[in-house]
Amino acid sequence: MVALLDDGLWFPDPRKARSDGLVAVGGDLSVERLLLAYRCGVFPWSAEPITWWSPSPRAIFDLDHIHISRSLARTLRKGSFEVTYDEDFEGVIRGCADAPRREGQTWISPEFIAAYTRLHYAGHAHSVEVWHEGQLAGGIYGVAVGGLFAGESMFHRVTDASKIALVHCAQRLRERRFTLFDTQMVTNVTSALGAFEIGRNEYLTRLSSAVFRNCDFV
């Protein structure tokens, strides 16, 4: 049964999600509620109305086994891209919102941009920027809670820029001793880099230990 959220900060048990993963409707996109959602294994997917989801299966990366193809490895060795962290969060999230989608629309609405930008300035949402010839060529953004990094979206304007962002993000997470890199769902790009699916119960088990770790993305 789908819960209707009120002004109180709470989420139902995600194990009671509807078959498509919908957990709840309503509430708000405040910093406090977003952080609680990620700690509970839930994330928002629309703003009007606000919907909260915990899909099963869930896609994650094994930080020790990111797959880098030979062609991507050559691109990385060339050094023609510069990579930064948290230098242009708003540029990255807006790039993700503007990226062409198969359905023609994006779930990254102005309300989401505002909410995750607040989360960024509160120190919990982070970005990896990839620059080419002085211009933002691609990037990825996500939310860090303890040892969890929930990758939300990525984009590219230059070939391979999003893949480079993801590889550097994973390297950063591994160096900072994060233990769970959540990518929500498998796509062609994330699958090529090694993303795989696990069930909701296994995800929640991994999450329960990850969120209590003391990790810092920046």
**Spans of all domains in the chain:** 3-55, 59-210
Helix (H, G, I), strand (E, B) or coil at 83: strand
Can you give the pTM of this predicted structure?
0.95
In this structure, what token pair is assigned to residue 122? 């509160």
pLDDT score for 107? 79
In this structure, what token pair is assigned to residue 12? 């139902």
pLDDT score for 188? 92
Quote the CA–CA distance of 162 and 191 in Å, as a whole number. 13
Q: 3-55 has which CATH code?
A: 3.30.70.3550
Q: 59-210 has which CATH code?
A: 3.40.630.70
pLDDT score for 159? 96
Quote the CA–CA distance of 186 and 194 in Å, as a whole number. 9
Quote the CA–CA distance of 57 and 74 in Å, as a whole number. 33
pLDDT score for 91? 98
Q: CB under 8 Å to 193, separation ≥6 — which residues?
A: 61, 66, 67, 68, 163, 166, 167
In this structure, what token pair is assigned to residue 71? 């062609």
pLDDT score for 105? 53
Question: Per-block average pLDDT, block size 10, for the chain (218 residues)?
Answer: 94 96 97 98 95 97 97 94 98 93 68 98 98 98 98 97 98 98 95 97 98 95
Cα–chain center distance at 128: 11
pLDDT score for 101? 61
Quote the CA–CA distance of 197 and 86 in Å, as a whole number. 28
CA-wise closest residue to 131 among 79, 188, 77, 192:
79
- Give me the amino acid identity at 209: S
